[in-house]
Structure 1
Amino acid sequence: DALIAAGIAVRPGPHALVNAQDKLQMRTTLSAAGIPAPLWREVTSAEDVADFAATAGWPVVLKTARGGYDGKGVMVVTSAEEAAVVLSGSNVRWLVEEKVDFTCELAVQVARSPHGQAAVYPVVQTIQRDGICREVIAPAPIDEDTAMQAQAIALQIAQLLDVTGMLAVEMFLTANGVVVNELAMRPHNSGHWTIDGAVTSQFEQHLRAVLDLPLGSTAALAPHVVMVNVLGGDHPDMYHAYLHCMARDPGLKIHMYGKEVRPGRKVGHVTVVGDDLEDLLERGRHAAAYLTGEITE
């Protein structure tokens, strides 16, 4: 706010960014606009959680309003007693949501510029384990109507929040359509496939949008793109594994982030593009597993 008051452009602005930083603010804003979302409620006690569960049913999902990512700050509880343990001694704000019965998880990347031009990428499927995204498949193996619904919702949110730059909208696909899970107002892990698999990467697109330049094409470069995250394991030196993967599969693209290797931490990703989805999945998974030391051949 101080920078804006001093005449400095801040993109995205705080009025937009707060909806990605604060889940209670995001839920309030999107619910008021009629955007599909899980049942939710702000809670301050185990009694509040039990009252909510009387309608939504157990188990329910407790989330901290701020600070959670990659499964942190998100707890599934099955009783008021469990909720009491989670909330005990806490000095942060909480919300509770119904535990959505979903078919798969989706994500949509949208870019929007200050003058209102918007570009939406193909809907992707994200495969999560232990609250961490492990794989991304572009485009998601869903029907065209569902994909169009997901893209339309993402575009609506970008306009509603007056987003500048990249917006990632994470969704659940249910029997009744898509519902919004969370927002990220930045280039996002679920969009890393665009570096090697789209005409315009999400990083270039973000710069174009922030600088108010014409946005680039979001088209994919192949019928299928697979991105597999590389998580830190017990082998901090990945260089020899890196060389092996490059030699074994010259079509593979490996991106390492230069981070300190810690178990479970995202330290890189691999991307493969082509016509055969099953082949791409096998190649991407093999490379990621070799890099982390899960396999040795």
Structure 2
Amino acid sequence: HISLSALKTIQRSGVLTYPPIQTIEQLDTIQKHQPTNEMYSILVARSGHAQVSTWPISLITGNISITPVPGMSEELASRIQLSVIKLAGEIGLVGAVELIVDADDFTKLISINWLNPVVQDNLSVGSITSYAEQFLRAVLDLPLGSTEALRSYTVSGSLTTDENSNDYRPYLHLMARNPNLKFNQATKKVSVIGDNVENLLTEIIHTQQYFSGEIKE
């Protein structure tokens, strides 16, 4: 996280920042609420010519995220996405941002991420256009890419290194066991895409448990 004062110092030196500082200041004035057991992640990108795109809404629960939210109606998803698109226009967003909201009341904002979204791995693996690419397109005022999902679901989970091992040895077993797993060493997450969310959750939870040393096979 970069503070507003640091961003203003950077801007005074002649460097442009995205989203614009004015946008970040407006987002900073919105009341924030405490994290809850279940939260939604909504990501929106907007270019200088006001082209806007959103990705499917994600569910964040514990150290796992699921895209899209299982069981969410199209009506509710549309309401949430339209509210975020409206907000993006009101604050003059150029770039992209992730809004984390309470799953029980999406009007309660919990946090804002624009550098490292919580669900960026879900989008990198499960979407035609990743968050990073879309952010760059928006900033350069290029046509935005498709946010269509590659499969029905993407599930990602955070990884914890086994204190008695290292990150390399678990990869040998896990990558051989399921070649469809996608690992991101930078974010310490594992992701997988597919059409059966229960099976995907089973794979991610097994991977987390094996990686941490909780289970041995």
After TM superposition, the score normalised by the length of structure 1 is 0.64
Select 1:145's aligned residue among 75, 80, 83.
Answer: 75
- Aligned residue for 1:207, secondary structure, equals helix
Instruction: Give distance in 1, aligned partners of 2:61 and 2:90.
Output: 28
Q: Does 1:216 align with 2:145?
A: yes
Change beyond 3 A, Cα 1:121–1:235: farther
1:122-141 residue pairs with structure 2 within 5 A?
Answer: 122-128=56-62, 134-141=63-70
Select 2:205's aligned residue among 273, 277, 285.
Answer: 285
- Aligned residue for 1:171, secondary structure, equals strand
Q: How large is the RMSD of aligned CA atoms in angstroms?
A: 2.3
With a CA cutoff of 8 Å and minimum separation of 6, indicate the structure with the bigger relative contact order: 2
What do the CA deviations read for 1:136-191 (whole angstroms, capped 9, x no partner)?
Answer: 111102111111111112212222222222210111132x6653222212340223
Q: Note the residue ranges of structure 1 that are not aligned, 5 or more in a row.
A: 28-36, 39-60, 62-70, 72-101, 129-133, 258-266
State whether residues 230 and 292 of structure 1, in contact with CA within 8 Å, keep that contact through their aligned partners in structure 2: yes
1:22-171 residue pairs with structure 2 within 5 A?
Answer: 22=28, 25-27=29-31, 104-128=38-62, 134-141=63-70, 142-171=72-101
Instruction: Give distance in 1, aligned partners of 2:44 and 2:197.
Output: 24
Select 2:190's aligned residue among 256, 267, 270.
Answer: 270
Provide the residue aligned with 2:181 in structure 1. 252
Identity %: 29
What displacement does 1:106 show? 0.7
What do the CA deviations read for 1:237-272 (whole angstroms, capped 9, x no partner)?
Answer: 110101211001011111111xxxxxxxxx511111
Runs of 4 or more above 4 Å deviation: 1-8
State the AA in 1 paired with 2:45: A
Instruction: Give distance in 2, aligned partners of 1:6 and 1:103.
Output: 41
What displacement does 1:224 show? 1.1
State whether residues 40 and 106 of structure 2, in contact with CA within 8 Å, keep that contact through their aligned partners in structure 1: no
Provide the residue aligned with 1:295 in structure 2. 215
Instruction: Give distance in 1, aligned partners of 2:176 and 2:134.
Output: 31
Q: Which has the larger radius of gyration?
A: 1
Change beyond 3 A, Cα 1:162–1:253: same
Instruction: Give distance in 2, aligned partners of 1:160 and 1:278.
Output: 39
Provide the residue aligned with 1:186 in structure 2. 115
State the AA in 1 paired with 2:74: E
- Aligned residue for 2:59, secondary structure, equals strand
Instruction: Give distance in 2, aligned partners of 1:103 and 1:235.
Output: 30
Q: Does 1:17 align with 2:24?
A: yes
Change beyond 3 A, Cα 1:233–1:161: farther
Change beyond 3 A, Cα 1:205–1:149: same
